[in-house]
Amino acid sequence: MQNYPTITIIGGGVSGLCAAITLKKAGYKTTVYESGARLGGRVQTDVMEGQILDHGFQVLLDSYPAAQEFLDFKALDLVKFAPGAIIFNNGKSTKVGDPTRDVSFLFATAFSNIGSIKDKLKMFTLSRKLKQKKLNDIFETKETTTLDYLQKAGFSDQIIQNFFKPFYSGIFLENELQTSSRMFEFVFKMFSQGSATLPAAGIQAIPEQLASHLETNQIKLNTTVSRVVGNQITLADGSVLESDYTIIAGQADRLVPNLPISNIKWHEVTVLYFKTTHKGFGKPIIGLISHPKSLSNNFHFSQDVFSDHENVISISVVKEHDYNENELASRVRMEFKEHAHIDLGDLIKSQTIKKALPSLKNINYCMDSTETRLTENVYLAGDHLSNGSLNAAMLNGKAAAQAVIDKIEGKVMVG
Ligand SMILES: Cc1cc2nc3c(=O)[nH]c(=O)nc-3n(C[C@H](O)[C@H](O)[C@H](O)COP(=O)(O)OP(=O)(O)OC[C@H]3O[C@@H](n4cnc5c(N)ncnc54)[C@H](O)[C@@H]3O)c2cc1C
Give the pLDDT confidence of 188-219 residue by residue, as tens digits.
999 999 999 999 999 999 999 999 999 988 99
For a ligand 1 pocket test, name from 58, 206, 208, 360 the mutation site with the most ligand atoms within 8 angstroms of its C-beta: 58
Question: From ligand 1's centre to the CA of 297, what distance in Å?
Answer: 22
- The percent of residues above 70 in pLDDT, for the chain, comes to 97
The alpha carbon dihedral of 241, 246, 247, 253 has a sign of: positive
Above 50 in pLDDT, residue 354? yes
Query: What pTM was computed for the model?
Result: 0.96
Tell me if 65 sits within 8 A of 391, measured CB to CB: yes
Residue nearest to atom 38 of ligand 1 (CA): 250
For a ligand 1 pocket test, name from 31, 390, 391 the mutation site with the most ligand atoms within 8 angstroms of its C-beta: 390
Question: 3-state class of 374 per DSSP?
Answer: coil
Distance CA 13, CA 11 (A): 6
Q: Please choose, from the candidates 57, 22, 69, the residue with its C-alpha nearest in 3D space to the C-alpha of residue 305.
A: 57
Which contiguous run of DSSP H or E holds residue 183?
A: helix 181-193
238: left (phi over 0), alpha (psi -120 to 50) or beta: left
Residue nearest to atom 1 of ligand 1 (CA): 56
Cα 262-265-266 angle, rounded to 5 deg:
130
Taking CB atoms and a 6 Å cutoff, what residues make up the pocket around ligand 1?
10-16, 33-36, 41-43, 56, 58-59, 224-225, 249-250, 255, 269, 353, 356-357, 382-383, 388-391, 393
Question: From ligand 1's centre to the CA of 381, what distance in Å?
Answer: 11
Question: From ligand 1's centre to the CA of 253, what distance in Å?
Answer: 16
Q: What is the pLDDT of residue 109?
A: 77
Query: What is the DSSP code (8-state) at residue 119?
Result: H
Distance CA 65, CA 392 (A): 10
Question: From ligand 1's centre to the CA of 216, what distance in Å?
Answer: 21
Mean pLDDT of the chain: 93
Q: How far is CA 265 from the centre of its chain?
A: 16
pLDDT in tens, 125-174: 999 999 999 999 999 999 999 999 999 999 999 999 999 999 999 999 99
Residue nearest to atom 6 of ligand 1 (CA): 58
Question: From ligand 1's centre to the CA of 205, what distance in Å?
Answer: 14
Question: From ligand 1's centre to the CA of 259, what distance in Å?
Answer: 19
Above 80 in pLDDT, residue 412? no
Domains of the chain plus CATH, in order, are: 7-43+204-264+361-408 (3.50.50.60), 47-200+266-359 (3.90.660.50)
- The percent of residues above 90 in pLDDT, for the chain, comes to 84
pLDDT band per the 50, 70, 90 thresholds, residue 254: confident
Question: From ligand 1's centre to the CA of 13, what distance in Å?
Answer: 6
The alpha carbon dihedral of 358, 316, 65, 379 has a sign of: positive
For a ligand 1 pocket test, name from 30, 38, 42, 251 the mutation site with the most ligand atoms within 8 angstroms of its C-beta: 42
- Ligand 1 atom having least distance to the Cα of 42: 29
307: left (phi over 0), alpha (psi -120 to 50) or beta: left
Question: From ligand 1's centre to the CA of 351, what distance in Å?
Answer: 16
Tell me if 314 sits within 8 A of 53, measured CB to CB: yes
Question: From ligand 1's centre to the CA of 38, what distance in Å?
Answer: 13
Q: What is the pLDDT of residue 413?
A: 57
pLDDT in tens, 58-85: 999 999 999 999 999 999 999 999 999 9
Q: What is the mean pLDDT of residues 328-352?
A: 97
Helices (H), 32-180: 65-70, 73-76, 105-111, 117-132, 135-138, 146-152, 157-159, 165-172
CA quadruple 120, 123, 125, 131: dihedral, nearest 10: -150
Question: 3-state class of 99 per DSSP?
Answer: coil
Q: What is the pLDDT of residue 104?
A: 77
Distance CA 127, CA 388 (A): 22
Q: What is the pLDDT of residue 308?
A: 66
Tell me if 366 sits within 8 A of 382, measured CB to CB: no
Question: From ligand 1's centre to the CA of 196, what distance in Å?
Answer: 18
Question: From ligand 1's centre to the CA of 14, what distance in Å?
Answer: 7
pLDDT in tens, 261-310: 678 899 999 999 999 999 999 999 999 999 999 999 999 999 898 876 78
pLDDT band per the 50, 70, 90 thresholds, residue 415: very low
- Ligand 1 atom having least distance to the Cα of 381: 26
Residue nearest to atom 19 of ligand 1 (CA): 389
Residue nearest to atom 35 of ligand 1 (CA): 11
Residue nearest to atom 33 of ligand 1 (CA): 11
Q: What burial class does residue 193 get, using C-beta atoms within 10 Å of its C-beta: 0-12 exposed, 13-18 middle, 19+ buried?
A: middle
Tell me if 29 sits within 8 A of 218, measured CB to CB: yes
Q: What is the mean pLDDT of residues 380-386?
A: 96
- Ligand 1 atom having least distance to the Cα of 396: 26
Q: What is the pLDDT of residue 1?
A: 47
Above 70 in pLDDT, residue 414? no
